[in-house]
């Protein structure tokens, strides 16, 4: 049953939305003029910046017994060294959801006690007038510790009580299933490694604090710093106009921001603190490592009768970060399902979201297990999935708002040449290379959150729209301008969308694929309202050519308000405002997700990968990838493709290259740099393609989008892993898949 | 970084005098500046030698190659004389690092580069190479990229240079100038295994400056090449690598030069492999048999055991690539 | 509006005015300094950083002469960003592992994070700010916009500087695979790689 689409908000012509516009901030970025957090300084009116460098703990757990800062303070140009021994007590007011996205627990505090909770925890901050002096002095701070061996073993450490989801009777169904499979997948810890290291410039003016900070949510540093320092939120302002990639790593404010703000307050000077690449590995969060057990029970024809997930995921001791691992509950029609998720507190810093958080993890396990089942039964992997395609959401019983996953499969099969895949592994060889194809499905919730926007039409006919969102690469400033341009009937060049200032109308964190649906809908609503205001002014103005026309019959194109019946009858925004003596018109508007959600709303992915595995050397190269996405309306296909490339190449890293290595003796992270932690290079990204299934989803959002930013990395790693199996006949269940796992006999 | 003085040498003589007084030579800086930032290196005085006239590349009589120590990696890789006489040198260079690093780094610096061991590079971890007697963190630690050959109980760090593997295979000579005059030593004796003195990485006396690397002539025609195996497609140090040079005449291998990288505390010459090849006819079986000797003496660690087998396979593969087709 | 011109003094008591001669033209304009030889010598003799003699650097940056006293430890990257207020060049790793800091020295692409500022005397440095001709973008910049060879934009200056030198200094690439390999010293975590390749392929034609 196809749900009825929500009524269209206006019959404005769609000229910008849906077109492949170039980024409006492209020029700023290619000329080096786009300013990221660490770029702020004199040109922004911030004079006298001094530099702060953190000192990191060199034990994995224990207590600081002494801190000797004399040698550091003796370095010329050093201003201060702050640590738990001399730092003021900070109020640390509570700051939980919805003012933040902190996981439950006690957030890490800056220099408030002598506990070391993980290797690398900041234990002091050194501030100097030159960067060289600050860095050098930081090395001279002598810290002694009472060290204990840290608990770092995900597999054996005691876990919290499990979070259990269950429907039907999975144990019984599994036991009586004609086909039973059991496997365990292991996924190493991954780090975002965005190109921009976290950075903050903090400046106090009396009791007011301004920060230029790397964040995906400008409200968050405001809320967190206000809470930490015990000052009103109104006393803090956060700017974050350009963010150098995030992938989830700046949805919350980390302890280095507090350290910088504290130093700035103590010194009464603006402080700049930039984390080193190394410090990113323990100074901010990461995608946690998992041990993921899957048991499947099915009929001989592949219909799943029971699915059981036993999951262990790492978290810190002081906060419980849990990823949303719900993919298994809704992807396939399984009447009996049980999932036990155990968070294992370890002596590490708290994980956080990373692209496709949770969904990508479950997809790796679930989609590989389905491939194993397909192989076991001799059924084509896509056919197997189609046989398990649910009519309604098996978890909630609700109908899907839109679910075009089947079309993703068939489109992908056709475009990728799936028929050329051999169902028998290790069947295709080209010289030294074994060739294989694999696929995987994915999904990501199409959710949204409250958002507001403000739009101002000037007498010159240009519009500025604002919302406190961010743009870490998806192209938000462009796509929002497109929405606004169409709603107002203006050409793109006369519309500007501004973000990145906590004083702007509130927007949610730029994550979880919320932004297009939430901020986009708010922008739509706000600009609709502004247009209707202009129209009302015109039709009520007896000197206007549109006087007396029913408002519903007036549309705007290229700034020309006119009647639909007779386009010549109309006037421009400029004429309207001028004649009415108005310098501007403005409107505020917002979006609230509906109270009652009557549909199951997800974006879907079907990822296809072809790999070449060196038959003797074991190295894996992805030759091509295709992602087919059901994400509802695509506001900008050019930007969408860039997102898709990002997600798929990110998934390549997940599958073949990335894992953070920790020394179990002391928690030291051993590959805390970009030479030893391997991210994909240009040479690794060969043939990457994306296709979007046509169709909007007006339940998911008034503007018909389902969100793309997260789903693009869901299903990629298992597609590649499955391709490796098809190529070699060897099933590798530990990610990343490295050559040592594929040194096969002749 | 610890403070230091910076001066530029305008002559080799001036440089050596400064070196004798404890100055550290800096050329491209890609190793030194990096390690100084980590405070692994803490020189008090840097002597910039990059302007010295030591970057010539020339063929030597009878078909050898002399490469000035200050020639940049990128220039050497592009040099027609190099590509003509010893293309494996160019190949190894082009597979090294990145274009930017190759524009900066010099040949001498490349051979002198220091290990990538994470414990060596982290001054808060015990490391016998940095501080003799403090212990080796890698032995019981994470050692996937460490060596299986030439190790001692004191150090297991791999020598990371690709070029040095080719130079070792081809038995290059390192030419130096120092306070006591000129000196030359085979590269196999210049680069030192850790043994009991892991802090001594090269046979280089105080104040000595490398001026050139010279590759001797080899019988022609010579087939050669460098194969580098790594996790990702580019911009990564070798898991294993192999340099091979063969002179085949009348269907018989007359000369074989083979060395491996990514596996040894120094580039690892493979005389047993070479001996197995000389006097025999190329064939897939020959490559496989010869390669069996490649890991003789290997002492794998917990995480790098795979290198033993991967090394054999890499040798076999490169023998086939270089010697396989006529 | 230069941090160097403020009244603050380091703990050594040395004036923070490390530039010679008159004031520094701030912000995005390439600084031009005038200094007499005597003034240089006097300042050089007295200026220290960490108790160690500073180094006088005379280089050209984006075509304009620059004279500056630097801490020997200062990298070209930090000098460009913190002293000359040229923030276009980015610090991604400060270890020579990501390429974000790529600039040209004498027309060759190099990593400014591993280049000591002191070593740039007598050389020409070109940064992203020096690429466009006034308002006219360089063909590589234009191509990056058109093909969307960027997303967050942080690695973009380094990518573009790397690509321009790849073509101009080293020679155009003959295939997409060659572009990929020769650009692999520039990491992009947004993974704009496919379009970076498209942009470079296109720009190469125009740059002929």
A316-352, pLDDT tens digit by residue? 999 999 999 999 999 999 999 999 999 999 999 999 9
Q: What is the 3-state secondary structure (H, E, C) of C39-83?
A: HHHHHHHHCEECCEECEEEEEEECCEEEEEEECCCCEHHHHHHHH
B100 contacts chain A (CB < 8 A): no
- pLDDT value of residue C43: 55
CA gap A711, A631 in Å, rounded: 9
* Binding-face residues of B in 141-160 toward A, CB within 8 A: 141-142, 145
Listed residue (B232, C200, C111) closest to A683, CA to CA: B232
Element (H, E) at A570: strand A570-572
Q: Indicate where chain A has its CATH 3.30.365.10 domain(s).
A: 26-34+450-591, 355-447+597-742
Verify whether the Cβ–Cβ distance C153 to A276 is below 8 Å.
Answer: no
Measured CA angle at A725 (ends A722, A727), to 5 deg: 110
- pLDDT value of residue C6: 33
- Long-range contacts of residues B246-252, Cβ cutoff 8 Å, at least 24 apart: B246/B222, B246/B277, B246/B319, B246/B322, B246/B323, B247/B218, B247/B219, B247/B220, B247/B221, B247/B222, B247/B223, B248/B223, B248/B282, B248/B323, B249/B219, B251/B281, B251/B282, B252/B279, B252/B280, B252/B281
* Binding-face residues of A in 686-725 toward C, CB within 8 A: 686, 688
B140 contacts chain A (CB < 8 A): yes
Verify whether the Cβ–Cβ distance A681 to B234 is below 8 Å.
Answer: yes
Quick check: B269 and B296 in contact, CB under 8 A?
Answer: no
Q: Is the pLDDT of residue A5 over 80?
A: no
**Which fold does the domain C3-130 belong to in CATH?**
Ubiquitin-like (UB roll) (3.10.20)
Listed residue (A677, A170, A132) closest to C52, CA to CA: A132
Q: What is the mean pLDDT of residues C86-106?
A: 98
- pLDDT value of residue B10: 97
Cβ contacts of B233 on chain C, cutoff 8 Å? 181, 184
- Chain A closest CA to C74's CA: distance in Å? 7
- Name the residue among A616, A657, A684 with its Cβ closest to that of B317: A616
Q: What is the mean pLDDT of residues A630-639?
A: 97
Q: What would the CATH number be for the domain defined by A355-447+597-742?
A: 3.30.365.10
C37-75, pLDDT tens digit by residue? 545 555 555 566 666 789 999 999 999 999 999 999 999
Verify whether the Cβ–Cβ distance C114 to B6 is below 8 Å.
Answer: no
Q: What is the DSSP letter of C15?
A: B
CA gap C69, C33 in Å, rounded: 12
Cβ contacts of C99 on chain B, cutoff 8 Å? 98, 100
The full set of domain ranges for chain C reads: 3-130, 139-207
More confident call, C124 vs A3: C124
Verify whether the Cβ–Cβ distance C102 to B37 is below 8 Å.
Answer: no
Cβ contacts of C170 on chain B, cutoff 8 Å? 74, 78, 99
If pLDDT is split at 50, 70 and 90, which confidence band does C208 have?
confident
CA gap A271, A253 in Å, rounded: 17
Listed residue (A452, A463, A401, A416) closest to A701, CA to CA: A401
- Spell out which chain B residues touch chain C, with contact meaning CB-CB distance below 8 angstroms: 1, 3-6, 8, 26, 29-30, 33-34, 36-37, 46, 48, 50, 74, 78, 97-101, 103-104, 233-235
Q: Is the pLDDT of residue B92 over 50?
A: yes
The full set of domain ranges for chain B reads: 5-48, 223-323
User: Which tokens sit at C101?
Assistant: 């800091």
A663 contacts chain B (CB < 8 A): yes
A223-263, pLDDT tens digit by residue? 999 999 999 999 999 999 999 999 999 999 999 999 999 99
- Looking at domain B223-323, what is its CATH homologous superfamily? CO dehydrogenase flavoprotein, C-terminal domain (3.30.390.50)
C110 contacts chain B (CB < 8 A): yes
- Name the residue among A136, A617, A738 with its Cβ closest to that of B317: A617
User: Which tokens sit at B66?
Assistant: 């002399």
Verify whether the Cβ–Cβ distance B100 to C111 is below 8 Å.
Answer: yes
Q: Is the pLDDT of residue B179 over 50?
A: yes
Listed residue (C41, C1, C7, C6) closest to C21, CA to CA: C41
Cβ contacts of A623 on chain C, cutoff 8 Å? none
If pLDDT is split at 50, 70 and 90, which confidence band does B315 have?
very high
Q: Which of A25, A30, A199 is best to mutate for the C interface (most C CBs within 10 A)?
A: A30
- pLDDT value of residue B324: 84
A745 contacts chain C (CB < 8 A): no
**Chains near B (3 or more Cβ pairs under 8 Å):** A, C
Q: Is the pLDDT of residue C11 over 50?
A: no
Q: Is the pLDDT of residue B297 over 50?
A: yes
Residue of A nearest to C197 (CA): A682
B190-241, pLDDT tens digit by residue? 999 999 999 999 999 999 999 999 999 999 999 999 999 999 999 999 999 9
CA gap B67, B82 in Å, rounded: 9
Pairing between β-strand A78-83 and β-strand B173-178 as defined by DSSP bridges: unpaired
Say whether B303 sits in a helix, a strand or coil.
Answer: coil
Percent of chain A clearing pLDDT 70 (strictly above)? 99
- pLDDT value of residue A184: 98
CA gap A381, A538 in Å, rounded: 60
Q: What is the DSSP letter of A37?
A: G
C122-137, pLDDT tens digit by residue? 999 999 999 999 999 9
- Classify domain B5-48 by CATH architecture: 2-Layer Sandwich (3.30)
Verify whether the Cβ–Cβ distance C75 to B33 is below 8 Å.
Answer: yes
Residue of B nearest to A432 (CA): B317
Verify whether the Cβ–Cβ distance C119 to B48 is below 8 Å.
Answer: yes
Quick check: A167 and A335 in contact, CB under 8 A?
Answer: yes
Q: Is the pLDDT of residue A110 over 50?
A: yes
- Options A196, A372, A658, A710, the catalytic residue: A710
A157 contacts chain B (CB < 8 A): no
- Chain C closest CA to B298's CA: distance in Å? 31
Listed residue (A355, A714, A640) closest to A511, CA to CA: A355
Q: Is the pLDDT of residue C29 over 90?
A: no
CA gap B92, B77 in Å, rounded: 8
Q: What is the DSSP letter of A347?
A: S
Cβ contacts of B234 on chain C, cutoff 8 Å? 180-181, 184
Contacts of A595 (CB under 8 A, 6+ apart): none
Q: Is the pLDDT of residue C12 over 50?
A: no
- Name the residue among B39, B142, B234 with its Cβ closest to that of A661: B142
Q: Which of A20, A31, A81, A134 is best to mutate for the C interface (most C CBs within 10 A)?
A: A31
Contacts of A579 (CB under 8 A, 6+ apart): A541, A543, A544
B117-164, pLDDT tens digit by residue? 999 999 999 999 999 999 999 999 999 999 999 999 999 999 999 999
- Name the residue among A36, A131, A643 with its Cβ closest to that of C82: A131
B239-249, pLDDT tens digit by residue? 999 999 999 99
Say whether A530 sits in a helix, a strand or coil.
Answer: helix
**Which fold does the domain A26-34+450-591 belong to in CATH?**
Aldehyde Oxidoreductase; domain 4 (3.30.365)
If pLDDT is split at 50, 70 and 90, which confidence band does C19 have?
very low
A29 contacts chain C (CB < 8 A): yes
C172 contacts chain B (CB < 8 A): no
Verify whether the Cβ–Cβ distance C162 to B50 is below 8 Å.
Answer: no
Listed residue (C140, C129, C191) closest to C162, CA to CA: C140
A676: left (phi over 0), alpha (psi -120 to 50) or beta: alpha
User: Which tokens sit at A394?
Assistant: 């098996």
- pLDDT value of residue C46: 55
A498 contacts chain B (CB < 8 A): no
Residue of A nearest to C193 (CA): A682
A577-592, pLDDT tens digit by residue? 999 999 999 999 999 9
Quick check: A28 and A105 in contact, CB under 8 A?
Answer: no
Across chain C, mean pLDDT equals 83
A672 contacts chain C (CB < 8 A): no
More confident call, B267 vs C23: B267
In chain A, DSSP finds a helix count (H) and a strand count (E) of: 16, 28
User: Which tokens sit at C31?
Assistant: 């600084």
Verify whether the Cβ–Cβ distance C184 to A683 is below 8 Å.
Answer: yes
- Name the residue among B1, B118, B231 with its Cβ closest to that of A739: B231
A76 contacts chain C (CB < 8 A): yes
**Which fold does the domain C139-207 belong to in CATH?**
DNA polymerase; domain 1 (1.10.150)
For residue A740, indicate whether it is catalytic.
no
Across chain A, mean pLDDT equals 96
């Amino acid at each position: 049953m196809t749900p009825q689409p929500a009524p269209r908000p206006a019959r404005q012509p769609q000229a910008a939305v849906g077109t492949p516009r170039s980024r409006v901030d492209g020029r700023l970025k290619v000329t080096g003029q786009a300013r990221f957090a660490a770029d702020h300084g004199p040109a922004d009116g911030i004079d006298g910046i001094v530099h702060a460098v953190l000192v990191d703990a060199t034990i994995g757990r224990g207590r600081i017994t002494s801190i000797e800062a004399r040698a550091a303070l003796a370095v010329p140009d050093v201003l201060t060294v702050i640590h738990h021994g001399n730092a003021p007590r900070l109020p640390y007011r509570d700051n939980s959801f919805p003012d933040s996205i902190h996981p439950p627990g006690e957030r890490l505090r800056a220099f408030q006690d002598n506990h070391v909770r993980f290797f690398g925890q900041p234990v002091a901050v050194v501030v100097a007038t030159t960067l060289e002096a600050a860095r050098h002095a930081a090395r001279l701070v002598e810290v002694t510790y009472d060290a204990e061996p840290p608990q770092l073993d995900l597999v054996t450490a005691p876990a919290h009580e499990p979070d259990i989801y269950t429907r039907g009777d999975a144990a019984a169904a599994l036991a009586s299933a004609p086909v039973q499979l059991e496997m365990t997948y292991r996924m190493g810890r991954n780090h975002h490694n965005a190109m921009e290291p976290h950075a903050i410039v903090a400046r106090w003016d009396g009791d007011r604090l301004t920060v230029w900070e790397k964040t995906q949510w400008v409200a968050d540093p405001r809320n967190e710093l206000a809470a930490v320092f015990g000052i009103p939120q109104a006393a803090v302002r956060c700017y974050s106009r350009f963010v150098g990639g995030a992938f989830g790593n700046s949805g919350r404010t980390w302890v280095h921001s507090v350290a910088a703000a504290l130093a700035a307050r103590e010194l009464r000077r603006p402080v700049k603190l930039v984390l080193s690449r190394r410090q990113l590995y323990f100074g901010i969060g990461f995608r946690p490592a998992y041990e993921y057990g899957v048991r499947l029970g099915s009929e001989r024809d592949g219909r799943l009768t029971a699915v059981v997930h036993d999951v262990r995921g790492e978290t810190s001791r002081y906060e419980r970060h849990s990823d949303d691992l719900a993919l298994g509950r809704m992807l396939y029609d399984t009447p009996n399902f049980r999932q036990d998720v155990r968070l294992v507190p370890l002596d590490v810093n708290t994980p956080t979201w990373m692209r496709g958080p949770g969904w990508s993890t479950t997809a790796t396990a679930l989609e590989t297990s389905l491939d194993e089942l397909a192989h076991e039964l001799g059924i084509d992997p896509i056919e197997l999935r189609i046989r398990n395609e649910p009519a309604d959401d098996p978890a909630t019983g609700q109908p899907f708002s839109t679910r075009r996953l089947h079309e993703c499969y068939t489109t992908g099969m056709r475009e990728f040449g799936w028929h050329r895949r051999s169902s028998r592994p290790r069947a295709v060889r080209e010289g030294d290379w074994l060739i294989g194809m694999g696929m995987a499905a994915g999904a990501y919730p199409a959710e949204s959150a409250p958002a507001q926007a403000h739009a101002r039409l000037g007498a010159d006919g240009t519009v500025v729209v604002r919302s406190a969102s961010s743009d870490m690469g998806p192209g938000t400033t462009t796509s929002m301008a497109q929405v606004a341009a169409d709603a107002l009937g203006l050409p793109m060049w006369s519309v500007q969308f501004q973000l990145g200032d906590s004083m702007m109308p509130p927007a949610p964190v730029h994550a979880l694929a919320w932004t297009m649906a939430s901020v986009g809908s708010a922008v739509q609503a706000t600009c609709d309202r502004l247009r209707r205001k202009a129209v009302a002014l015109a039709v009520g103005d007896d000197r206007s050519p549109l006087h007396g026309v029913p408002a519903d019959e007036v549309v705007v194109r290229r700034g020309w308000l006119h009647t639909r019946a007779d386009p010549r009858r109309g006037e421009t925004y400029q004429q309207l405002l001028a004649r009415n003596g108005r310098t501007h018109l403005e409107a505020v508007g917002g979006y609230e997700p509906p109270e009652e959600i009557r549909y199951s709303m997800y974006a879907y992915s079907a990822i296809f990968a072809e790999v070449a595995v060196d038959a003797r050397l074991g190295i894996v190269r992805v030759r091509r990838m295709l992602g087919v996405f059901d994400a509802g309306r695509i506001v900008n296909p050019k930007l969408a493709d860039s997102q898709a490339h990002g997600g798929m190449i990110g998934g390549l890293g997940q599958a073949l290259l990335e894992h953070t290595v920790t020394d179990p003796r002391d928690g030291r992270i051993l590959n805390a740099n970009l030479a030893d932690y391997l991210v994909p290079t240009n040479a690794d990204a060969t043939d990457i393609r994306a296709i979007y299934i046509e169709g909007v989803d007006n339940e998911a959002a008034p503007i018909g989008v389902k969100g793309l930013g997260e789903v693009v990395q869901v299903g990629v790693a298992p597609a590649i892993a499955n391709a490796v199996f098809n190529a070699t006949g060897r099933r590798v269940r530990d990610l990343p898949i490295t050559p040592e796992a594929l040194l096969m006999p002749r | 970084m610890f403070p230091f003085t910076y001066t530029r040498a305008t002559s080799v003589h001036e440089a050596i005098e400064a070196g004798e007084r404890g100055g550290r030579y800096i050329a491209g800086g890609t190793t030194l500046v990096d390690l100084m930032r980590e405070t692994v290196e803490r020189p008090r005085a840097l002597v910039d030698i990059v302007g010295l006239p030591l970057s010539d590349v020339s063929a030597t009589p009878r078909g050898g190659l002399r490469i000035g120590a200050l020639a940049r990696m990128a220039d050497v890789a592009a040099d027609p004389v190099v590509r003509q006489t010893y293309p494996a040198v160019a190949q190894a260079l082009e597979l090294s690092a990145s274009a930017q690093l190759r524009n900066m780094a010099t040949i001498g610096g490349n051979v002198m580069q220091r290990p990538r061991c994470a414990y060596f590079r982290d001054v808060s971890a015990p490391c016998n190479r940095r501080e003799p007697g403090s212990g080796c963190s890698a032995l019981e630690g994470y050692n996937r990229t460490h060596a299986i050959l030439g190790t001692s109980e004191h150090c297991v760090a791999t020598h990371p240079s690709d070029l040095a593997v080719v130079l070792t295979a081809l038995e290059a000579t390192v030419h130096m100038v120092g306070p006591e005059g000129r000196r030359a030593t085979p590269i196999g004796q210049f680069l030192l295994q850790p043994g009991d003195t892991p802090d001594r990485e090269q046979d280089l006396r105080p104040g000595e400056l490398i001026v050139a690397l010279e590759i001797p002539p080899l019988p022609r025609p010579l087939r050669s090449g460098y194969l580098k195996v790594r996790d990702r497609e580019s911009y990564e140090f070798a898991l294993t690598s192999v340099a091979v040079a063969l002179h085949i005449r009348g269907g018989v291998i007359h000369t074989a030069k083979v060395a491996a990288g990514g596996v040894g505390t120094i580039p690892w010459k493979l005389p047993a492999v070479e001996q197995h090849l000389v006097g025999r006819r190329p064939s897939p079986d020959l490559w496989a048999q010869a390669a069996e000797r490649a890991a003789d003496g290997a002492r794998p660690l917990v995480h790098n055991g795979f290198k033993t087998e991967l090394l054999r396979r890499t040798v076999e593969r490169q023998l086939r690539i270089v010697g396989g087709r006529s | 509006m230069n941090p160097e011109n403020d009244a603050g003094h380091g703990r050594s008591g040395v004036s923070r005015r490390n530039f010679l001669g008159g004031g520094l033209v701030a912000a995005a304009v390439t600084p031009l300094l005038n200094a007499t030889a005597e003034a240089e010598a006097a300042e050089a003799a007295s200026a220290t950083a960490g108790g160690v003699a500073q180094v006088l650097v005379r280089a050209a940056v984006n075509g304009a002469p620059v004279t500056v006293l630097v801490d020997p430890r200062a990298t070209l990257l930090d000098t460009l960003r913190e002293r000359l207020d040229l923030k276009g060049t980015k610090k991604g790793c400060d270890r020579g592992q990501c390429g974000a800091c790529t600039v040209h020295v004498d027309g060759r692409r190099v990593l400014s994070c591993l280049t000591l500022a002191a070593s740039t005397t007598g050389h020409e440095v070109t940064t992203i700010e020096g690429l466009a001709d006034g308002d006219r973008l360089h063909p590589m910049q234009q191509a990056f916009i058109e093909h969307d060879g960027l997303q967050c934009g942080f690695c973009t200056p380094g990518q573009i500087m790397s690509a321009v030198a790849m073509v101009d200094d080293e020679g155009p690439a003959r295939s997409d695979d060659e572009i990929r390999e020769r650009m692999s010293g520039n990491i992009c975590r947004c993974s704009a790689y496919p379009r970076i390749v498209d942009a470079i392929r296109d720009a190469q034609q125009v740059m002929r």
